[in-house]
């Protein structure tokens, strides 16, 4: 019962979804200000998701695999909620982590993208299949530098692959971001998170002006609402993961918590500003970018970390 509460209520699905929807409001508000608009009220994202979940019809295309088509949104949300539960529970009590929990989190972070691909392919829509194909190429491009860059906080904490050990090491030593290798690694992870969230300039899988939302094109009602919730959870938990790896984690005293909130907003606003000041790139340009300069920067950061910089 305890674990069910952690997964479903706090700090898992319900808490992370609410925080993610609020983070989505920050995204929309900053976007509006960049474009000299007022932006929506804070509760707009909640209303949008509630409308999809309870008031909109779920239309299922004919002659498709309903299990895959309807199961992928649930799989995506379950993975996102599990990631959130692991990261936040360990932040609250670093000793509760398990060996290799960082590796588990990295694997789980791939599931939402894989779910989106399979859902797009299962919908039997050519535009959805094109978007899913782009999502697959994009994931293959950013996962390499993402994993390499995460080795920096691992090396800095004495080659620990437990999130709790990484948090504990930063509490008694310098934060990972306080070194040259940490800064370079942070930049790489930030760019990869931009792609994981599907934000411009790496939003080519959806590309609403080109392929009308790509893998999402056949989704509606509850299924689309669940996908939106999964993306909201990721929008919340990915910056929290970066705080965990580079800023010493979430600390539950008043002063440190306020600092954590500013760190979260700092990361989120950077992501939103990048999204609103860069045009969409082609998929081949994104692959070349991640496999070229971004991977090179990740390797340099690991080498610097190895030599103590």
Q: What is the pTM of this model?
A: 0.95
Q: Is 91 in contact with 250 (CB distance < 8 Å)?
A: yes
Tell me the average confidence (pLDDT) per consecutive run of 10 residues in the chain, 309 residues long: 85 94 96 91 96 93 91 96 96 89 96 96 93 96 97 94 93 91 97 96 91 92 96 97 94 84 96 94 96 97 94
277's tokens: 């000041």
CB atoms within 10 A of CB 86: 25
Cβ contacts of 77 within 8 Å, gap of 6 or more: 13, 226, 227, 229, 230, 233
pLDDT at 252: 78
Residue position matching structure tokens 């008694």: 172
Residue position matching structure tokens 């970066």: 242
Domain ranges of the chain: 2-306
DSSP 3-state of 305: helix
pLDDT at 174: 86
pLDDT at 308: 87
CA distance linking residue 223 with residue 67, whole number of Å: 12
CA distance linking residue 145 with residue 98, whole number of Å: 25
pLDDT at 132: 95
Q: Is 157 in contact with 169 (CB distance < 8 Å)?
A: yes
């Amino acid at each position: 019962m305890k674990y069910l509460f952690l997964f479903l209520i706090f700090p898992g699905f319900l808490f992370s979804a609410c925080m993610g929807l609020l983070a989505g409001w920050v995204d929309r508000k900053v976007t509006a200000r960049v474009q000299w608009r007022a932006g929506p009220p804070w509760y707009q994202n909640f209303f949008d998701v509630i409308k999809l979940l309870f008031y909109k019809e779920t239309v299922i295309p004919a002659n498709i695999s309903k299990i895959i088509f309807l199961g992928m949104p649930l799989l995506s949300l379950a993975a996102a909620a599990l990631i959130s539960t692991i990261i936040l529970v360990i932040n609250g009590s670093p000793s509760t982590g398990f060996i290799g929990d960082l590796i588990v989190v990295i694997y789980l972070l791939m599931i939402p993208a894989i779910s989106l691909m399979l859902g797009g392919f299962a919908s039997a829509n050519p535009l959805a299949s094109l978007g899913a194909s782009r999502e697959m190429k994009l994931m293959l491009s950013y996962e390499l530098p993402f994993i390499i860059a995460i080795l920096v906080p691992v090396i800095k904490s004495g080659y620990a692959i437990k999130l709790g050990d990484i948090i504990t090491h930063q509490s008694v030593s310098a934060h990972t971001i306080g070194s040259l290798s940490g800064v370079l690694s942070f930049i790489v992870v930030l760019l990869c998170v931009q792609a994981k969230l599907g934000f411009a300039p790496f939003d080519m899988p959806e590309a609403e002006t080109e392929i009308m939302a790509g893998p999402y094109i056949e989704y509606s009602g509850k299924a689309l609402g669940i996908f939106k919730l999964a993306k909201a959870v990721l929008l919340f938990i990915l910056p929290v993961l970066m705080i965990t790896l580079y800023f010493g984690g979430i600390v539950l005293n008043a002063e440190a918590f306020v600092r954590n909130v500013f760190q979260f907003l700092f990361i989120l606003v950077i992501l939103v500003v990048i999204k609103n000041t860069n045009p969409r790139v082609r998929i081949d340009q994104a692959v070349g970018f991640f496999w070229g300069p971004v991977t090179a920067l990740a390797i340099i950061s690991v080498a610097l970390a190895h030599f103590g910089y």
